[in-house]
Amino acid sequence: MTTFKKLGLSDEILKVLTELGFKEPTEIQKKAIPRLLTEEKDMIGLAQTGTGKTAAFGLPLLEKIDPDIDNTQALILAPTRELGKQISEQLSIFAKFIDDVAVLPVYGGAPISKQIKSLKKTRHIIIATPGRLIDLINRKALNLEEIRYLVLDEADEMLNMGFQDELEEILKHTPDDKSTWLFSATMPTTIKKMVKRYMDNPIDIRINPKNSVNTDIQHLFTTVKRKDKEEALCRFMDLNAEARSIVFCRTKLGTQALAESLLAKNYRADALHGDLSQAQRDRVMKRFKNQELTVLIATDVAARGIDVNDITHVYHFDLPDDNVYYTHRSGRTARAGKKGVSISFIGGKDSYKIKKLERELGIDFGKIEVPDADAVLETRIQSWCMGILDKKTKNKVDAKLLDYALLLFGKLSKEELVAKILTLELEKLNIAQGNLNDSEKSDGRKGRGKRGSYGSKRRSGGPRNSSRRSFDKKGKGSKSSSRRKKKRY
């Protein structure tokens, strides 16, 4: 087994990796770190998100920084603010036992005046989004003429987001003799042209996508009609009491609409997409990391940089158009050695998409069915009962009131009293039968869950999600809940 020590890292770096519980390097780390440590060359690293690319370039970069030199020695470009902040946080952690290495993230949406003030101090490593970096260069707040290392992280995503002109402009302000390290999930023509133009005989490291999918993730799919997707999602979340989830949608409008609908049903949910301001995005992520939210609804681009280790479930409300994004998405779970579940919602005619993912990514999908009425009813009643059992009553009930209640209930047996209370709770739940599983043109795989499904209902408050959903007998949202005032961002 290859260890981090065998890669040639210093004792200071190895000490923090041990504290973090890192044992065996990933494939991209095994191949990139030794060469970046020993060779002053350009490099291309082709690997999926979630394969440890930040450590692959971040650890050797920290080893090469000279704290005694009072200028910026490395620049890391990232496509989104979230990813830039994540890289900065990880480098700061990795540098815990390295003295006097200063790291600074700069990105749009934050006050530029504060960033300019921070840049007046020595910053050995700067992590930036392209747009904000151009602003700082134009204001002459930042000089890139002496940088020795330029890292382009998620280069394909930067180009997809329309940053090609900004990248071209930034590269003009950097010295010709720097080392450029380019990391990307794909190698489109635009990147090939950039490599040819700006890189000199680079080291080429490519990780097969089939070797980059996290083996701790259980990949599942369920067939469900589009109109029933939201209800199916709610049922899965209801049956996973302690789950923390990310739900991926294809569009910003779809993301916002789903988040508002879940909020109206009292799920602890919120949206993360490109139309939110930086302050709104920061607030959402802070609430999610602090576990004030249990489910985050996100677009692919907005989710770049999400680094939360206890995400248990990833739901693909819409399958991505590009298989690369499936790896990006599912890689949000099963981090730090934990297990995770990735569930895709598809129509009965779309099983070929799952087979394509299996073939191209080298993973196996299991078929799971939308939970049935009995399963969710049992879960909700169990949660309700446990909430009652855990309730502390000492010194909280007036003795006279308790005596009066005992007098009124005195003629009832224990079984009769429990039955009456349970009946009241069942009326709140209002279970309606209905099968959401779409069997049309199914591929015939054997399902792993119970057959059938449970209908929409009103959930009573419980310790899990504190969710209350109000439904009519057909299983659709009632007028009272669907017409609630939408949350403003």
Burial of 427 (0-12, 13-18, 19+ CB in 10 A): exposed
Residue labelled with tokens 């959903």: 469
- Per DSSP, 297 falls in state E
Could you state, in order of their start, the residue ranges of all structural domains in the chain? 5-211, 217-374+433-482
- Per DSSP, 209 falls in state G
Nearest to 178 by CA among 186, 170, 188: 170
How do 203-206 and 179-184 pair as beta strands? unpaired
Cβ(368)–Cβ(220) under 8 Å? yes
For residues 383-410, b (16+ Cβ closer than 10 Å) or e, as one string?
A: bbeeeeeeeeeeeeeeeeeeeeeeeeee
Dig out the tokens for 439 from the structure: 């069997």
> Alpha-carbon distance 436 to 75, whole Å?
51
> Alpha-carbon distance 180 to 67, whole Å?
21
Cβ(264)–Cβ(481) under 8 Å? yes
pLDDT at 400: 92
Dig out the tokens for 189 from the structure: 């023509």
Dig out the tokens for 397 from the structure: 């009930």
> Alpha-carbon distance 80 to 86, whole Å?
10
Alpha-carbon distances, residue 462 vs 209, 290, 311 (angstroms): 41, 20, 21
> Alpha-carbon distance 374 to 66, whole Å?
64
CA 308, 263, 372: angle at the middle one, nearest 5? 85
- The structure's pTM equals 0.66
Burial of 24 (0-12, 13-18, 19+ CB in 10 A): exposed
Which of 2.60.40.3080, 3.40.50.720, 3.40.640.10, 3.40.50.300 is the CATH number of 217-374+433-482? Answer: 3.40.50.300
Radius of gyration of the chain (CA): 26
Task: State the amino acid at position 375 in one-letter form.
Answer: A
> Alpha-carbon distance 423 to 429, whole Å?
10
Same fold, 5-211 and 217-374+433-482: yes
Around Cβ 2, how many Cβ atoms within 10 Å? 12
> Alpha-carbon distance 170 to 165, whole Å?
9
pLDDT at 335: 77
Can you name the CATH fold of 5-211? Rossmann fold (3.40.50)
Residue labelled with tokens 């919120």: 270
How do 365-367 and 217-223 pair as beta strands? parallel
pLDDT at 305: 64
Alpha-carbon distances, residue 204 vs 4, 46, 134, 181 (angstroms): 21, 8, 29, 10
> Alpha-carbon distance 250 to 236, whole Å?
20
> Alpha-carbon distance 469 to 460, whole Å?
8
Cβ(334)–Cβ(340) under 8 Å? yes
H helices present in 362-441, as ranges: 373-389, 399-408, 414-429
- The residues, ordered by sequence, that sit 6+ positions from 422 with a Cβ below 8 Å of its Cβ are 381
Residue labelled with tokens 């990310």: 246
Q: Is 140 helix (H, G, I), strand (E, B) or coil?
A: coil
Cβ(117)–Cβ(104) under 8 Å? no
Burial of 120 (0-12, 13-18, 19+ CB in 10 A): exposed
Q: Is 180 helix (H, G, I), strand (E, B) or coil?
A: strand
Dig out the tokens for 473 from the structure: 């007998």
Dig out the tokens for 474 from the structure: 């057909």
Q: Is 106 helix (H, G, I), strand (E, B) or coil?
A: strand
Burial of 290 (0-12, 13-18, 19+ CB in 10 A): exposed
**Across the 489 residues of the chain, what is the mean pLDDT of every consecutive 10-residue run?**
90 94 89 96 87 92 95 95 90 94 93 95 96 96 95 90 92 95 89 92 87 81 93 88 91 95 91 87 90 93 76 95 82 83 93 91 92 80 88 88 92 93 80 65 43 36 40 38 39
CA 89, 92, 96: angle at the middle one, nearest 5? 140
